Amino acid sequence: MEKVSIARNPRARHDYHLLETWEAGLVLTGTEVKSLRDRKASLSEAYAHVRNGEVWLEGMTISHYGPGSYNNPPPARSRKLLLHKREIRKLLGATTQKGLTVVPLEVYFKDGLAKVAIALAKAKKAHDKREDLKRRVAEREMARVVKGRRT
């Protein structure tokens, strides 16, 4: 079960409280898969939503594959995510609540198949972000002090 990471969304953990995560398949064309294998993808502006009973990933950019010529699709097109019906129903029910959204966390290859990790998330307020930053700084300071005592 080899997992090869292609692109991550580091802002997701900073900007959102992640409530639940899923692994979804990704519907791609051949040249998009080759671009992903070259690690030419970006999740920085990406988000997911449920439309007509299907989950779609918007804003993910996969660069053109050089030798692909006319076979290359647009870099930022909508891409369908493959999930079980019960997972889609759960996402649909959760996203109708105010303040909840679906954010992609990472794109990777797992056993040769392109997958995307998505999470149901609630946006953090500015004070939540500051508290998280203070907590991480405090943990880092404590780890540094403990490490200094051992030597």
Which tens digits make up the pLDDT trace of 48-102? 888 888 999 998 888 887 777 777 777 778 899 999 999 988 888 888 877 788 8
pTM of the full structure: 0.76
Question: Does residue 135 belong to any structural domain of this protein?
Answer: no
Task: Indicate whether 149 belongs to any domain.
Answer: no
User: Measured between alpha carbons, how far is 32 from 75 in angstroms, rounded to an integer?
Assistant: 9
When divided into structural domains, the chain yields a total of 1
CA distance 81 to 35: 18
* Amino acid making up residue 110: K
142 belongs to a structural domain: no
The CATH number linked to 37 is 2.40.280.10
Q: Residue 56 domain-assigned?
A: yes
Angle at 137 between CA 132 and CA 138, to 5 degrees: 95
**Domain membership flag for residue 12:** yes
Is residue 151, in this structure, part of any structural domain at all? no
How is residue 110 written in tokens?
């797992």
Q: Which domain holds residue 113?
A: 3-124
